[in-house]
Chain A
Amino acid sequence: MSSSTLRLALVGNPNCGKTALFNLLTGARQKVANYAGVTVERRSGVFVDGNGRLCEILDLPGSYSLHANSEDEAIARDAVLGGLRGERQPDLMLAVLDATHLHLGLRLVLELKALGRPMVVILNCIDAARARGMVIDAEALSRELDCPVVSTVAITRGGAEQLLAALPAFAPAAQSLLKLTGQSVESLYQEVDRILARVLTDPGRYPVWQDRLDRVVMHPILGVALLATVMLLMFQAVFAWAAPLMEGLTFAVDWLAATTTGMMAAGPLRSLLVDGLFAGVGSVLVFLPQILILFLFIGILEDSGYLARAALIADRTMAKVGLQGKSFIPLLSAYACAVPAIMATRTIENKRDRIATILIAPFMTCSARLPVYILIIAAFIPDRPLVGRLLSTQAGALFGLYILGFLAAAFTARALKSSILKSDRTPFVMELPPYRRPTLRSLGLRLLDRAKVFLRRAGTVILVVAIGLWILAHVPLDHGKAPQIRDSLAGTVGRVVEPVIRPLGFNWKIGIGLITSLAAREVIVGTLGTIYGIENADEESMGLREALRRDLAPGGAAALLIFFAFAMQCMSTVAVVKRETGGWKWPAVQFGYMTGLAYVCAWAANVAVTRWLA
C-alpha cells in the first residue's frame, strides 16, 4: 500500500457486526495475516470510496475498552493510538456501535472520541433495534458526539453503497503517538447516560423469544442434551457427509494420475508426477471436505450466537484439566482432523489456553489414524466377542485407542496448564451475544477463507515432503534405473534408524514407514504395501496383513499402535501449528514431546506384551 492510500480502521465491541461490515465493504478482496510478532489475526481489505480513491480498511479485533485485557484488545488499542509496530495509524476511525447495545458501545466510542482523531460512528444493526421498538435519534447522537453518524444494516446488500456515500471527505491525517486519557469508568458512564437520555427516545424491550430460547439452551438438563445432540450431529457430518466428497476427490486425483500415466512415457518424470506429486498432494486434498463441513458447522454455531452458550455449558468440565469452555469445540473436532481443529482454536482469546489447546489437539484420535489402526488390529487381534455381541475384541481395541488418546490429551493439558502455560487469573467474562440468523454471505466468506488458508499453507509443505520422499526412494540410481527400495536412500535411512527403533520391535521396513508417515499417518499403509511388493495394497488386503504378521511380533504390533496413538506423524498439523502460533517454537516442542512420549510408551508396550506372551 502506498502512503497516499487512505487508511480506515473498524473499531468496536466484540459481536457488534464489525466483521459483517468489513465483509460488505471488501467482499472477497481480503487479506488475512498476523500482526507482526503476535498470533492475533490481521484482517485487511481494499475498496474504492465514493470519490474513486483507494482505501485500505483494517478490521481491528473486537474490544470492550482501550484499557486492554487481552492480546486482541492491546492490538486494537495500539493501532488507534498509533503505537502498533509495522502499522500506520488510521486516517479515519470507523467506530461501530451495535444499536441494541448502546450502553456498552457508547462508552468505547467516548474513549475513542477523547483521542481527538477523525472518526465516524456507524450505528449498526439498526433493524434489530427497530424490531425491539427502540427509537434512536441519529442526528442528536451526531450532535452530542460531534462527529458524523451513519445508520446501517450490515447484512443487506445495499448497505455498502449507503455507507460509502455517507463517508465524509477525509484526507490522510498526520501521525501522532497518543496516550490514553485517565477518565474514570463512572464518569464515562455518566456521560453515556446523559447522551442516551437525549438520543434514545424509546429504549424498547429485549425480545421475549430470545429469553425463552435461553431458558431452554441454558437449562441444566435440556441444555446439556441439546449440546450433546449438536455435537453428535457435527461429528457425524464430518465423518459421514464428508465421505462421498472425499471419495470423489480421491477418484479425481486417481483419474488424473491414471490419465497422466497413460499419456506419458514411463520414466522418472512420470513417476515423480504420479507417485510423488499426485499421491502426496492428493493425500492432503482429501481432508478439504472435512475441513469445510466442520467450518460450516462452527460458522453456523458462532454466527447464530450458540457457540458462546456451548462454551458456557462446557466450561466447568474443561476447567478440570485447566482449560476453558472455548477449548471444547476445537478438541471435539480434532477427532475428525487436527488441522481444522487447530484452525478453530482462533475462537479462544486467552493466548495460553489457545496454545495449550493447539498442543493437545493432535492426541485426539483423528480419522487418518483409522486406516493404520484397522490394518494392525485386523492383522494381530483375533476377532472374538468381548462383551457378548455388543463389543468384539477388535472393536474394543479400537475404542481403547480412542480412550488412550483422550487420556494423553487430558494429562498433557493438566501438565501444561500447571507449568509453562499457567495463566494469570484474568477476568473470565464472556458476552452471550443475541441469537441471530447466520447469513449465507458470511458463511461463504468464512469457508472460502479457511479453504485458501488450508490449501496454501499446509499444501505447500506437503508438496515439498512428497517430492522429497519420492526422490529419496529413487536415488541412488542403479545402472540408470530406480534402485531396489532396500538400496535406495530411503532404505538406507530405514536401516540407519533400525537400531533406534529395534527396542520397540520394529525393523527397517517399519522404519521407512515411520519416516514416510511423517507426512501423514495413513501413508504408512501405502509405504508398507510398496515395500512388501504387493500390488493394490490397502488396509483390507489379506496379503499385507500376512506380510505384517511375518515381520512384526505381537509386541511390536502393540508398540506400533501405541506409537501411532501418540506420535505427531502429520506434516499438515506441523505446518498449521507453525502458522497458528507464528513460529517454529511450539511445533518443535510439540513434535519433540509427542515423539518422545510415543517412543517411551511404545517401548513399554513392546516389553509388556512380549513378557506377557512368553
Chain B
Amino acid sequence: MPAGELHTIDQMPRGQRRRVLDLLGNAEFGPMDALVTRRLKELGFLPGAWVEVIGHGFFGRDPVSIRLGGSKFALRRAEARKVRVETAGP
C-alpha cells in the first residue's frame, strides 16, 4: 500500500486487523453525513480502536462484517468508506 493513499475499511481483505485512524465525510449521505458519523462513533469507531474484517456479503464484498472490541457489525460499503484505518498492520 503506497504511503499517503487513503485506506478505509471497505478495502480491507478478510482476516485483516487494523487500527482506526479517523472518520471521513462521505458525500453519498448528503445532509445525513454528520448523523452517520455520530452513529459510527457511538458504536465505537473511534481513533485507536482495533477492527478486523470477518466476512463479506454474497456479491461485490458488500456489506462487510467486522469485529470491533467485543462486538461484531455489518456495514454497507458507503459506511465502511467513512472509516479510515492505519495502513500498516500489527
Chain A contact residues, CB within 8 Å of chain B? 64-65, 67, 69, 100-104, 107, 185-186, 189, 206, 211, 214-215, 217-220, 223-224, 308, 312-317, 325, 424-434
Q: Which of B44, B56, B70 contacts A220 (CB 8 A)?
A: B56
Nearest neighbor of A73 in chain B, beta-carbon distance: B39
Q: Do A315 and B63 touch (CB < 8 A)? A: yes
B7 to chain A, nearest CB (A): 20
Residue from B29, B54, B58 within 8 A of A215 (CB atoms): B54
Interface status of B78 (Cβ within 8 A of chain A): yes
Could you list 29 examples of A-B contacts with CB < 8 Å? A64-B42, A67-B38, A67-B42, A101-B70, A103-B44, A103-B69, A186-B41, A189-B41, A189-B44, A206-B70, A218-B55, A219-B55, A312-B57, A312-B63, A312-B65, A315-B74, A317-B58, A325-B57, A424-B32, A425-B30, A426-B32, A426-B35, A427-B32, A427-B36, A430-B73, A432-B65, A432-B72, A433-B72, A434-B72
A contact residues around B73 at 8 Å (CB): 429-432
Interfacial chain B residues near A314, Cβ < 8 Å = 57-58
Contact check: which of A308, A315, A433 meets B57 at CB < 8 Å?
A315
For A214, give its contact among B28, B41, B54 (CB under 8 Å).
B54
Known: A102-B70, A429-B73. A218 touches B56 (CB 8 A): yes
Q: Report A-chain residues with C-beta under 8 Å of the C-beta of B59.
A: 316-317
Secondary structure class of chain B's binding surface, majority of residues: mixed
Name the distance in Å between B34's Cβ and chain A's nearest Cβ. Answer: 11
Bound form: Cα–Cα A214–B59 in Å: 18
Q: Determine how close the nearest CB of chain A comes to the CB of B83; give it in whole angstroms.
A: 11
In the assembled complex, which residues on chain B have CB atoms less than 8 Å from the CB atom of A428?
Answer: 63, 74-76, 78-79
- Chain A: minimal CB distance from B5 (Å): 25
Alpha-carbon distance between A317 and B58 when the two chains are bound, in angstroms: 8
Given the known inter-chain contacts A69-B39, A101-B70, A425-B30, please indicate yes or no for A316 contacting B58, CB distance below 8 A.
yes
Inter-subunit contact B35/A427 (CB<8 Å): yes
Give me the 7 closest cross-chain CB pairs, A-B, nearest first: A218-B55, A432-B72, A316-B59, A185-B41, A428-B76, A427-B36, A430-B74
Contact A103 B70 (CB under 8 A): yes
* B30 contacts across to A, CB distance below 8 A: 425
* Contact indicator A107/B65 (Cβ below 8 Å): no
B62 touches A316 (CB 8 A): yes
The docked-state distance in angstroms from the alpha carbon of A428 to that of B70 is 20
B63 proximity list for chain A (CB < 8 A):
312, 315-316, 325, 428, 430
